[in-house]
């Protein structure tokens, strides 16, 4: 593939966007009509997962093509301590691409690694340029990561997604005259992550009384116990009756999705006007959000579908249109897929599998994408539900972080195959769920005699995944045997 034949590539990422919250994926409100339309012009993966439901580990996996147990970034606080080989930026630069980033990074790459950089944006910080922008950021800090119960008292123009798209379009324009070299653009929105806030007209766009019901309320957190119970009790202690507001902040969350959707429309429309049919779009989130499930907001407890499933679609040249694909894919698969899309080799140490053949109608993957794997926890022993260890925030006051010493204690691994899901913990506990019958994951079938054979099959599959993601870096004299597309279960390795 010559450099002139290579497509532009734009990765559009949201932060903490839960899967299934658009009309196109079956939600009861039309939150993201443009993105639904863009997805319909390409391929949507209905079973897409994060490798770990935390920002920095997930983003590091996207860039490196490696699971957190391999790249070793398992906390949001150690984003500069990754272990990896060549990553996504290395692959694209070697292929002659210009590179650009705009938005929230929260990962090991920084401004020195891109040709164009605009950031860092966060949830309560940004490269503010005007007094109004600085006042908006100060207001964001003041609401302490909570839901704003009134419309944001600042215009839409100062919202971070608007400014990020402004920056991204300026970068695209700057690359337009670079002698036809293709570009890679990563546009990363900090929303719809908390604080849950949005200005008019988005605040009133979705009535709280009309938002779809939750799958499970606060009583489910107590029933599940462990980190769910601990986090639920902490939130109730710090913000009594906070759960009474779940419809309001879910409505605001939906309004934030529409704000993002309007900015994605502006972004893609402008890119297509400049270079029609030249750009491959990949839309993903780093992880999900409870959005009221179990009486919880944000993230932090467990590996429920609310946190590990993510929106994920690809559209653009060569991609099959109008396809809802139920193969199970991961953020870890992005690097090898895009490498194959631009005709580049998949680097050593990459654990993801290229799904480019799924997008283009290529080789039959067989059983490669029949199951999916994810990880959780910072390691060490598990804290009990009544623990009160020292945290990185005070027990007094309203401030809290769902990702903390207690909720992330221990190590867990998750596997899904079909409608079945297994979670195994480092203290020997196991969980088994039938998702089509139990979407809230409350009916644990682990000890059911009738499920013993299924449990054994899934334990074997989980063990196989753990062996397949055993790290083969650093390489030495011996070169590991790899299959085409990095498909570990392919019949004909090379």
> Model confidence over 327-349: pLDDT tens digits?
999 999 999 999 999 999 999 99
Task: List the CATH number of the domain containing 385.
Answer: 3.30.1120.10
Beta bridge partners of 48: 329
396 and 431 fall within a common domain: yes
Same domain, 353 and 409: no
Structure tokens at 153: 């008292």
Q: For residues 333 and 405, state if they share a domain.
A: no
Report the pLDDT averaged over residues 120-128: 96
Instruction: Determine the Cα–Cα distance for residues 378 and 360; give it in Å rounded to an integer.
Output: 38
Residue-range definition of the domain harbouring residue 384:
374-486
pLDDT at 223: 96
The answer to whether residue 180 scores a pLDDT higher than 90 is: no
Q: What is the pLDDT of residue 494?
A: 45
Which CATH number belongs to the domain containing residue 89 in this structure?
3.40.720.10
Residue 493 lies in a domain: no
Assess whether 192 and 236 both reside in one domain: yes
Task: Give the tens place of pLDDT for each residue, 60-90.
Answer: 999 999 999 999 999 988 878 899 999 999 9
The per-residue pLDDT for 191 is 98
Residues 269 and 379 both lie in one domain:
no
Question: Could you tell me if residue 193 is inside a domain?
Answer: yes
HSE value, Cβ hemisphere, 13 Å, CA-based, for 432: 16
The percent of residues above 70 in pLDDT, for the chain, comes to 98
- Looking at the fold, whether 354 and 397 belong to one and the same domain comes out as no
pLDDT of residue 417: 98
For range 18-31, the mean pLDDT: 98
Q: What is the pLDDT of residue 174?
A: 87
Quickly state the pLDDT bin for 490 (edges 50, 70, 90). Answer: low
Find out whether 254 and 260 touch, Cβ atoms under 8 Å.
no
Model pTM?
0.96
Task: For residue 190, tell me if it sits in a domain.
Answer: yes
In terms of domains, do 451 and 323 share one?
A: no
Query: Are 295 and 438 found together in one domain?
Result: no
Statement: residue 178 has pLDDT above 70: no
In this prediction, residues 371-390 reach a mean pLDDT of 96
Q: Tell me the average pLDDT across 209-222.
A: 96
In a domain? residue 160? yes
Assess if residue 357 is contained within a domain. yes
Instruction: Tell me which of 350, 367, 384 is where a domain ends.
Output: 367
Final residue in a domain of this structure, among 323, 339, 367 = 367
Reported as a pLDDT band with limits 50, 70 and 90, residue 419 is: very high
Whether residue 132 has pLDDT greater than 60 = yes
Looking at residue 121, its pLDDT comes to: 96
Shared-domain flag, residues 359 and 385: no
Residue 245 has pLDDT above 70, yes or no: yes
**Higher pLDDT pick, 372 / 363:** 372
Output the pLDDT for position 493. 45
Question: Quick one: three-class SS letters along the chain?
Answer: CCHHHCCEEEEEEEECCCCCCCHHHCCCCCCCHHHHHHHHCCEEEEEEECCCCCHHHHHHHHHHCCCHHHHCCCCCCCCCCCCCCCCHHHHHHHCCCEEEEEECCCCCCCHHHCCEEECCCCCCCCCCCCHHHHHHHHHHHHCCCCCCCCCCCCCHHHCHHHHHHHHHHHHHHHHCCCCCCCEEEEEEEEEECCCCCCCCCCCCCCCHHHCCCCCCCHHHHHHHCHHHHHHHHHHHHHCCCHHHHHHHHHHHHHHHHHHHHHHHHHHHHHHHHHCCCCEEEEEEECCCCCCCHHHCCCCCCCCCHHHHECCEEEECCCCCCCEEEEEEEEHHHHHHHHHHHCCCCCCCCCCCCCCHHHHHCCCCCCCCCCEEEEEEEEECCCCCCCCCCCCCCCCCCCCCCCCCCCCCEEEEEEEEECCEEEEEECCCCEEEEECCCCCCCCCCCCCCHHHHHHHHHHHHHHHHHHHHCCCCCCCCCCCCCCCHHHCCCCCCCC
Same domain flag for 345 and 387? no
Q: What pLDDT does residue 488 have?
A: 83
Residue 232 has pLDDT above 80, yes or no: yes
Q: Are residues 329 and 200 in the same domain?
A: yes
Mean pLDDT of the chain: 95
Overall number of domains in the chain: 2
In a domain, 110, yes or no: yes
User: Of 367, 397, 416, at which residue does a domain stop?
Assistant: 367
Domain assignment present for residue 470? The answer is: yes
């Amino acid at each position: 593939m010559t450099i002139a034949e290579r497509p532009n590539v734009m990765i559009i990422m949201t932060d903490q966007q839960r899967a299934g919250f658009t009309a196109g994926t079956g939600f009861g409100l039309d939150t993201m009509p443009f993105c639904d339309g863009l997805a319909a012009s390409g391929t949507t993966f209905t079973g897409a997962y994060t490798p770990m439901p935390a920002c920095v580990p997930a983003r590091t996996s996207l860039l490196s093509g490696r699971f957190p147990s391999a790249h070793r970034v398992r906390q949001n606080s150690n984003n500069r301590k990754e272990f990896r080989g060549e990553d996504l930026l290395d692959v694209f630069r070697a292929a002659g691409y210009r590179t650009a980033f705009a938005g929230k990074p929260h990962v090991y790459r920084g401004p020195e690694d891109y040709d164009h950089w605009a950031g860092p944006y966060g949830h309560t910080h940004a490269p503010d340029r005007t007094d109004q922008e600085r006042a908006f950021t100060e207001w964001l800090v003041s609401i302490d990561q909570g839901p704003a119960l009134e419309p944001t008292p600042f215009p839409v123009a100062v919202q971070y997604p608007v400014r990020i798209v402004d920056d991204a379009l300026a970068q695209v324009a700057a690359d337009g005259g670079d002698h036809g070299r293709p570009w890679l653009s990563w546009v990363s929105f900090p929303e719809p992550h908390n604080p849950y806030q949005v200005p008019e007209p988005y605040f009133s766009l979705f009535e709280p009384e009309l938002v779809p019901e939750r799958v499970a309320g606060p009583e489910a957190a107590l029933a599940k116990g462990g980190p769910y119970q601990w986090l639920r009790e902490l939130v109730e202690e710090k913000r009594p009756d906070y759960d009474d507001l779940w419809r309001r902040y879910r409505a605001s969350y939906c309004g934030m999705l529409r704000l993002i959707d309007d900015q994605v429309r502006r972004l893609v429309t402008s890119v297509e006007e400049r270079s029609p049919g030249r750009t491959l779009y990949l839309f993903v989130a780093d992880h999900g959000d409870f959005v009221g499930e179990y009486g919880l907001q944000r993230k932090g407890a467990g590996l429920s579908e609310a946190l590990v499933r993510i929106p994920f679609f690809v559209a653009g040249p060569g991609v099959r249109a109008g396809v809802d694909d139920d193969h199970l894919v991961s953020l870890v698969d992005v690097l090898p897929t895009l490498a194959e899309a631009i005709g580049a080799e998949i680097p050593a140490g990459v654990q993801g599998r290229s799904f480019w053949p799924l997008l283009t109608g290529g080789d039959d993957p067989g059983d490669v994408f029949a199951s999916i794997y994810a990880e959780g926890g910072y390691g060490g022993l598990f804290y009990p539900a009544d623990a009160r260890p020292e945290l990185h925030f005070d027990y007094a006051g309203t401030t809290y972080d769902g990702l903390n010493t207690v909720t992330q204690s221990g190590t867990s691994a998750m596997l899904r195959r079909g409608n079945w899901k297994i979670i195994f913990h480092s203290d020997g506990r196991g969980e088994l769920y039938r998702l089509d019958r139990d979407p809230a994951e409350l009916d644990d079938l682990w000890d059911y005699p009738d499920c013993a054979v299924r449990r054994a099959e899934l334990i074997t599959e989980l063990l196989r995944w753990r062996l397949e993601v055993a790290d083969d870096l650093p390489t030495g004299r011996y070169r590991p045997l790899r299959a085409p597309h990095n498909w570990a279960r392919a019949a004909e390795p090379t």
